[in-house]
Amino acid sequence: MGWFGRDRDRREAREGRDDRSPPRTRAPVLVVEGLDVYYGRAHALQGVSLAIDHGVLGIVGRNGMGKTTLCNAITGLVPARGSVRLLGEEILGLAPNQITRRGIAYVPQGRRVWPSLSVDETLRLVARGKREVDRIYAMFPRLAERRGNGGAQLSGGEQQMLAIGRALLLQPRLLVMDEPTEGLAPVIVEQVAQALRDLAAEGDIAVLLIEQNLGVAMSVADRIGVMVNGRIAQEMPTATLAADRQLQERLLGVRSGSADEDDALPAPAHGEDAAAPRQVLTVRRAYADGAASFDDLAPGTVRGFNRWNAGGTAAPVADIQRAASAPASGTPPAPPRTDLSPQVFAFPVAASSQRAAYVAGTFDTKARELFFLRQCLERLGLRVVTVDLSTSGKPSPASVHPREVARHHPQGESAVFSSDRGDSIAAMALAFENFVRTRADFGGIVSAGGSGGTTLATQGMRALPIGVPKVMVSTMASGDTRPYVGPVDICMMYSVTDVQGINRISEKVLANAAHALAGMIMHPPAESAASKPALGLTMFGVTTPCVQAVTKRLGDAFDCLVFHATGVGGQSMEKLADSGLLAGVIDVSTTEIADEIAGGVLSAGATRMDVFARHAIPYVGSCGALDMVNFGAWDTVPERFKARKLYRHNPNITLMRTTADECRAIGEFIAIKLNAMRGPLRFLIPEGGVSAIDRPGQPFHDPAADRVLFDTIAQHFRPGTDRKLLRLPLHINDEAFADALVAAWREVSRVGVSERRA
């Protein structure tokens, strides 16, 4: 591949431009000194200094340490202070296109190929002649096979080959590559690594390589620099880092699942002693293979601590200083760094650089609005990932192509791109729901759209854990938002005008949405290390005295989270339980089941209580408000129920008394769910009445119907050692019944703790 350098030298000689490229003996290819970058008040790069004379310098480090910002600063894409010299010439402050003309080519993270141009069009746009394009095809034969395909139709590996080829056609002095192997299959990773080794062997192009895959970095680079909190904390020969596993652990924040097992060793970089011992740890970016936790990983797998699974942003200063000064096994210690003082780490990298803001939507119709959101977020210093959810099949300008999302549908792409628009939207929504579960860097998500776009985006939002910021700008936000919000914490903003173009109204609304998301991402609430375990409780207006009494008794030991049993309330509680965020549940008010059985408006669905069959969570339940079915205002009650016993709770709520037959069906439903539960449980039946209006003299007092409910549950319930049914001659709002619930909870929570310890 030396033809790149020879052609460049001949061209520069013809143009009389030897002054811009002095001999290498006069100046290194790249010298960076005291480079600082700020995102607002966040000090992202802090006095970075490095030099590349020839070959490959690899920069590694955990996520959010400033590696991409370093690339962007060198290539002129972000404002910076300090000095960046290319072959002795100061280039800091030049426009990106001027820096490119002087000899720096950039292969950015995510490839960023032009989606609407074919492979051949992309290369010919950059090349000075057909011969140069043919050389790229010879270098990457796969591109020759795909020369007529658009950039959006290429696989990730093919896009990376195209991005590298595009950069090489600029005939640069320095090639800057940011995460070139991210997301690629192992065979493609090796092809990219081999291309880099060939470039280094030719000696015509120096390479600054940002790489998360430590094995690749050490197989290619001559020297390795480790970035921590916006600084290069240590730079060393590759052999020094490769030979010392403990040094890798201390500097990069990884630990091996099994220290006794040897990792596969990469080939030595050129110029290294092939006999030198090498131990390489590979950082896992995410559990894409479905492993749910570190304990699920195979022995020998490296366990990485980064922005996705560690609470902090960086290793402590003392750890970094010890790592920088500790000698590697069998090698002399590296020279001490005199600039590693606590002040270096006084301005940690902002949370905005650690987690990505996702902008999702239908880019075929809403590209202008969605890119406006991206622009607002990037101005605030956030890393942004755009995701296209369109189903039209048009070329996509987003970071994540619709076909990449569609591949997450259980039946694949073909299920998404069909002739029926409604079916396509439903299928893409399901694919997006599965897609978001595979992304480990979600800092938050924002979208904008009409009814179709809102349906698509919010289905994915609902799959995210509670606490992950979610903002939806929608034309549907002023109506019934329950189908979109569901049981999670989605912030719905009314768009006022249609989401169509940027005008004085939409600009303000979209900017507010972006700023709201940025604030939530950049300033997450701090969690106390001594926080109490969370306990979920369900309450309805007619069971309020009971729940208040229980929370008063348990509030000192537990963080009592009370959910209003309005359908979505029960769903929200069970979503938290499903996420492992609840230590247990006291399900006082199971009234949503009555709405499910009898056709009320506050049903939580047929899956109510199923979460406790999936997880062995301590459970205490009761029959709160099972005497009633809920409807809206009086005139909304279905005609078939007009002859039933109805009670006007308030102008907007009408209650209907459950019959004996409905109580029997409710009892059978509850018994089936209880019998399927895996954890310790107690179910308490208040035989004196199940709500404030189910007692003597109240409108829903019906002992016969209640007795059918209680007897049905008792008849079908299967007791066990840690599974008990208690029938108490108490009303649900009696103080004594609250005492019984608390005592039952203390029994099951002790059982749950002992089981978890065992």
Coarse DSSP helix, strand, coil percentages of the chain, rounded to the nearest 5 percent: 40, 20, 40
Per-residue pLDDT, 286: 39
Mean pLDDT across 443-459? 91
442, 436 contact by CB (below 8 A): yes
The yes/no answer on whether domain 52-78+103-113+154-253+273-341 falls in CATH 3.40.50.300 is: yes
More confident position, 596 or 227: 596
pLDDT cut 70: percent of the chain above it: 80
* Mean pLDDT score of the chain: 81
Reported as a single tens digit per residue, the pLDDT across 95-105 is 999 999 999 99
pLDDT at 631 over 80: yes
pLDDT at 24 over 50: no
Dist. CA 431–CA 426, nearest whole Å = 9
Lowest mean pLDDT among 46-50, 168-172, 341-345, 718-722: 341-345
Per-residue pLDDT, 755: 41
Q: What residue type is 678 in one-letter code? A: R
User: Please, which pLDDT band fits residue 279 given cuts at 50, 70 and 90?
Assistant: very low
Per-residue pLDDT, 676: 96
User: Please, which pLDDT band fits residue 191 given cuts at 50, 70 and 90?
Assistant: confident
| Topology annotation, domain 534-757 | Rossmann fold (3.40.50)
Sign of the Cα torsion 687, 692, 697, 703 reads negative
User: Please, which pLDDT band fits residue 18 given cuts at 50, 70 and 90?
Assistant: very low
User: Please, which pLDDT band fits residue 528 given cuts at 50, 70 and 90?
Assistant: low
Lowest mean pLDDT among 276-285, 414-423, 475-484, 640-649: 276-285
Q: Where are any strands of DSSP class E within 574-680?
A: 584-587, 619-621, 628-631, 646-650, 653-657
Per-residue pLDDT, 329: 41
Q: Which of 147-161, 251-265, 472-486 has the highest mean pLDDT?
A: 472-486
pLDDT at 316 over 50: no
More confident position, 354 or 646: 646
Helices within 40-127 (DSSP H only)? 67-74, 96-102, 119-126
User: Please, which pLDDT band fits residue 723 given cuts at 50, 70 and 90?
Assistant: very high
Dist. CA 111–CA 156, nearest whole Å = 8
Per-residue pLDDT, 339: 37
Reported as a single tens digit per residue, the pLDDT across 228-262 is 888 898 889 988 888 877 777 766 654 443 333 33
SS3 681: strand
- Tokens of residue 288, six digits: 């894409």
Per-residue pLDDT, 335: 42
Lowest mean pLDDT among 28-32, 181-185, 519-523: 181-185
Per-residue pLDDT, 445: 96
Dist. CA 174–CA 171, nearest whole Å = 9
Dist. CA 402–CA 613, nearest whole Å = 36
Sketch the domain layout of the chain as residue ranges: 52-78+103-113+154-253+273-341, 355-522, 534-757
Dist. CA 242–CA 215, nearest whole Å = 9
pLDDT at 21 over 70: no
More confident position, 699 or 4: 699
pLDDT at 42 over 80: no
Per-residue pLDDT, 639: 93
| Sequence-distant (≥ 6) Cβ neighbours of residue 576 within 8 angstroms | 466, 534, 536, 561, 582
SS3 37: strand
Reported as a single tens digit per residue, the pLDDT across 392-421 is 888 888 888 999 899 999 998 888 988 787
Q: Fold match between 355-522 and 534-757?
A: yes
pLDDT at 41 over 80: no
User: Please, which pLDDT band fits residue 466 given cuts at 50, 70 and 90?
Assistant: confident
Dist. CA 169–CA 338, nearest whole Å = 41
Mean pLDDT across 20-36? 72
Per-residue pLDDT, 689: 97
CATH homologous superfamily of 355-522 equals Uncharacterised protein family UPF0261, NN domain (3.40.50.12020)
| Sequence-distant (≥ 6) Cβ neighbours of residue 63 within 8 angstroms | 212, 306, 307, 308, 354, 441
Per-residue pLDDT, 757: 39
